[in-house]
Structure 1
């Protein structure tokens, strides 16, 4: 199943193709600055009924005619079948476009990144006819950007920094720097950064909660649907906490099922009704009276 972090890890390269320059520099690779970048179709299906798709496919062209393709794959966990699929992707693309092909694998945890970094030989040990050598970006080698000025200088790289370090202790500093950086850019620039960061943090609940809080507080002037959605979710969470605080202050024992019902509600209007009832209800259960009826 395709998850929000999976989408964010590769879609950020579609939104900001120039991000590869920052990634390659962080990995000590020397590529000429491209004169153009083209987003290509990701469908690698053959005539036979077998569908194969790479996550993101980009074509880089430069002034010295040193063109190449970059296939970007988001990898959430180890998968023993992936190296063969990746080898197929690269062979197919080389045949179809007659251009050099690179594979960039983006990961969110070190174990998966180290697994993806391994060179995989396809063929007998006596003569490995084909060796897969992916380029890997993950928490082990992506920069930790905690300086707002550095984040402002390259918002896309700062966003990838947040996505790849989503489960690391350093994420707090990265998100604070990124939320500060987007304060100084137009809404049209900030919105995709906010959206991609939110998607990328979906598998890291604590980091996602911090990001939503930072967005709700620091970006309150934004009126876009993306920012409003994040603020609504932040307000709902705080509303649920207020209800539980009131019930606890009144000395009520709060069963797990009531706590779960309150914290899982994302309807601000309903939460406000429950909060009003929590002040006078004779028991914790009574705050749901009308809805249960």
Structure 2
């Protein structure tokens, strides 16, 4: 089962397909063709062999009803040598099916994985190498303007994850972007930010939440759905913290489930009832490495 860290960048593209074009232009200096429409396309790259090939996502830029560019999007969180054989298949198959140019955009939050993913793939044919476009921390646009963050909240979130440890302005822009999204997206995006931020970026986020009462109050209203009703900011903040706790506990269980690790009912209850954010953070980090629930608790 895919993890939240893998799925959320793809959710950003599903909710805002034009984000793919923005990343190509701003991160790699690629001049995309003129387009008046973006839409998601089928990622089915199955050939006449029984093996199935399917990328994480495909965004197509269109102009006047004609496909102009296909962007194959992959989220890669660790090295996988098999990808160096399947990535070219995605591009070639979609280029043939849609009859338009195709590019490969690989999103890598881990610097070591990004370095690996960016290595040219030798296709065997003379002078034919595929060099993936890798969106790592260094290539992720820095969004510090509140106006830009509100215009493209998904880009502001990616910016905060990549640069929030060094530039507090990206954290503030991310907070403003979150507050601007529709209610049906707010909880999904907020939970992702609260669990994905780490290190100095996470400390900057916590400091912003702790020292800026307006964020605590307004975020709590939106999170717990109490609208404009007045109440004590402290009580609202507790509701927000409760939501974060529940989100992290759910993330721990999801990671264990995706790795096929059995979780007895007693252990599930222990994780679900934990209210210590630091402990949940530690469990979430270890869930990707342990071989049993007993190791998680040790």
The answer for the alignment partner of 1:187 in structure 2 is 182
Kindly state the Cα deviation for residue 105 of structure 1 after the two structures are TM-superposed.
Answer: 0.6
Q: CA deviation at 1:156?
A: 2.4
Q: CA deviation at 1:148?
A: 2.7
What TM-score do you get using the length of structure 2 for normalisation?
0.65
Q: Distance in 1 between matches of 2:137 and 2:190?
A: 15
| Equivalent residues of 1:159, 1:193 under 8 A apart | no
User: Is residue 72–residue 102 contact of structure 2 (8 Å, CA) maintained in 1?
Assistant: yes
Cα distance in 2, alignment partners of residues 229 and 31 from structure 1: 44
Structure 1 position 203, deviation (Å): 5.1
In the alignment, which residue of structure 2 is the partner of 1:121?
A: 122
Residue 120 (structure 1) shift:
1.5
Hey, what does 2:243 align to over in structure 1? 233
Partner of 2:140: 142
Cα distance change of structure 1 residues 171 and 108 upon mapping to structure 2, 3 Å threshold: farther
Report the Cα distance in structure 2 between the residues aligned to 1:211 and 1:176, rounded to whole angstroms. 8
Equivalent position SS for 2:222: coil
The answer on whether the counterparts of 1:69 and 1:102 sit within 8 Å (CA) in structure 2 is yes
In the other structure, the counterpart of 2:263 is: none
Residues 202, 110 of structure 1: CA spacing in aligned structure 2 closer, same or farther, 3 A cutoff?
same
Root-mean-square deviation (CA), in Å?
3.7
- Pick aligned residue for 2:155 from 157, 168, 173: 157
Q: Aligned match of 2:166 in 161, 164, 170? A: 170
CA 1:91/1:198 → structure 2, altered by over 3 Å: closer, same or farther?
same
Contact 2:121 2:131 in 1 (8 A): yes
Cα-to-partner distance string for 1:243-272 (whole Å, 9 max, x where unaligned):
xxxxxxxxxxxxxxxxxx9xx65449x99x
How big is the shift at 1:3? Answer: 1.2
Whether the 8 Å contact between 1:7 and 1:199 is mirrored in structure 2 is no
User: Which residue of structure 2 lines up, in the alignment, with residue 18 of structure 1?
Assistant: 18
User: What are the within-5 Å matches in structure 2 for residues 258-269 of structure 1?
Assistant: 266-267=272-273
Question: 3-state DSSP class of the match of 2:139?
Answer: coil
Counting only pairs closer than 5 Å after superposition, residues 99-110 of structure 1 correspond to structure 2 as 99-110=100-111
Match of 1:199 in 2: 192
Counterpart secondary structure, 1:80: coil
SS in 2 for 1:34: coil
Q: Structure 1 residues 186, 10: CA separation in 2 closer, same or farther (over 3 Å shift)?
A: closer
Greater Rg, structure 1 or structure 2? 1
Corresponding residue for 1:256? none
Shift of 1:10: 2.4
Shift of residue 218 of structure 1?
Answer: 4.1
Question: Could you state the TM-score of these two structures normalised by the residue count of structure 1?
Answer: 0.66
Secondary structure at the aligned position of 1:70 is classed as strand
The total of aligned residue pairs comes to 237
1:97, distance to aligned residue in structure 2 (A): 2.1
Distance 1:5 1:210, change over 3 A: farther
* Deviation (angstroms), 1:48: 3.4
- Partner of 1:221, secondary structure, is helix
Distance 1:48 1:200 in 2: 40
Q: CA deviation at 1:194?
A: 5.0
Shift in alpha-carbon separation, 1:66–1:233, aligned structure 2, 3 A? closer
Partners of 1:67 and 1:224 in 2: CA distance: 43
Residue 131 of structure 1 corresponds to which residue in structure 2?
A: 129
